[in-house]
Amino acid sequence: MVLPKELKSSSEINKKVFIKLSGAKGGKGFFTASSKEELRKELKERIKNGIIKKQDSDNITIQEFLSGVRYYIHYFYSPLYEKGAKVGEGRIELLSMDKRIEPIDENYRALPNIPQEFFDYTVTGNAPIIVRESLIPELIKMGISVVKTSIELFPPGITGPFCLETVYHPEKGFTTFEISARIVAGTNLYPQGSQYSCYIFPEPMSTGKRIAREINQGIIKEELEKIIF
């Protein structure tokens, strides 16, 4: 799985980078910069305007800026079910997928006079997405890779739902810029299941229902220790 290059300090900036704040802030306060000076200026401006707090600026992540199409893939790892994409003691499931809607996405509508306030990465909504079938094998491999690594690092691994936040470039393929080890907002689009979950389950399957089914199976098989810890 390909990850974006992360810079250790602002002095390493020599091209456009993406500045992220710690925690699940939904993109609020995130921005781009092309130099150390621009980064400092943007941080001061955001603190002054109350967009972020001073303590936020002390704990930032600087990553290379990725251009491409964003895909947020919702997975579920079950150590209790075996039929399917095998990993560990169980399988990886591709439950659904979404794209985040941010003010920055609407910049093109104001060309060439883009209002400064639209250079904003705050998530304001989610849209359902379906990828080309030829890309699905790569998405499955990425999910398997995350689960395998998690089992090695903290057995029994990342059980249940998680999300890979990715950017797709036609030449570079998928780059994962964040891993959310939890239920993400994009699953709200699928209370009756998705265009992918219907290939795994015969009935509508939301992420919440999928969690409930896993716990129920753990009770029936007397293997709750595999999924709850």
Concatenating the DSSP letter of every residue in 6-21 gives EESSGGG--S-EEEEE
The last residue of one of the domains, among 64, 91, 113, is 64
Does residue 23 carry a pLDDT above 80?
A: no
Q: Say which CATH number the domain at 37 has.
A: 3.30.1490.20
pLDDT at 110: 78
**Residue 176 within a domain:** yes
Task: Work out how many domains the chain is built from and give that number.
Answer: 2
pLDDT at 13: 95
pLDDT at 191: 96
pLDDT at 229: 78
Identify whether residues 75 and 59 lie together within a single domain. no
**Residue 155 within a domain:** yes
pLDDT at 117: 81
Give the residue-averaged pLDDT of 94-119: 86
pTM, two decimal places:
0.88
Identify whether residues 74 and 138 lie together within a single domain. yes
Identify whether residues 17 and 128 lie together within a single domain. no
Identify whether residues 57 and 104 lie together within a single domain. no
Buried b (16+ CB within 10 A) or exposed e, 92-130: bbbbbbbbbebbbbeeeeeeeeeeeeeebbbbeebeebe
Give the residue-averaged pLDDT of 198-218: 96
Give the residue-averaged pLDDT of 90-110: 91
Identify whether residues 156 and 50 lie together within a single domain. no
**Residue 157 within a domain:** yes
Identify whether residues 105 and 178 lie together within a single domain. yes
Identify whether residues 21 and 102 lie together within a single domain. no
**Residue 91 within a domain:** yes
Give the residue-averaged pLDDT of 125-131: 96
Give the residue-averaged pLDDT of 83-108: 92
The last residue of one of the domains, among 64, 81, 97, is 64
Identify whether residues 51 and 82 lie together within a single domain. no
The last residue of one of the domains, among 64, 86, 103, is 64
Q: How far apart are the first and last CA of the chain?
A: 27
Question: What percentage of the chain exceeds 90 in pLDDT?
Answer: 73
Identify whether residues 36 and 83 lie together within a single domain. no
Identify whether residues 121 and 215 lie together within a single domain. yes
Residue 171 structure tokens: 């030449």
Identify whether residues 163 and 99 lie together within a single domain. yes
| Segments forming the whole domain that contains residue 201 | 69-226
Mean pLDDT for the chain overall: 92
Q: 153-184, pLDDT tens digit by residue? A: 998 899 999 999 999 999 999 999 999 999 99
Identify whether residues 201 and 131 lie together within a single domain. yes
Q: Say which CATH number the domain at 135 has.
A: 3.30.470.20
Does residue 215 carry a pLDDT above 70?
A: yes
Cis ω on the peptide bond leading into residue 137 (within 30° of 0)? no
Rounded distance, CA 16 to CA 162, Å? 29
**Residue 31 within a domain:** yes
Name the band, by pLDDT with cuts 50, 70 and 90, for residue 24.
Answer: low
**Residue 1 within a domain:** no
pLDDT at 111: 78
pLDDT at 145: 97
Rounded distance, CA 188 to CA 44, Å? 35
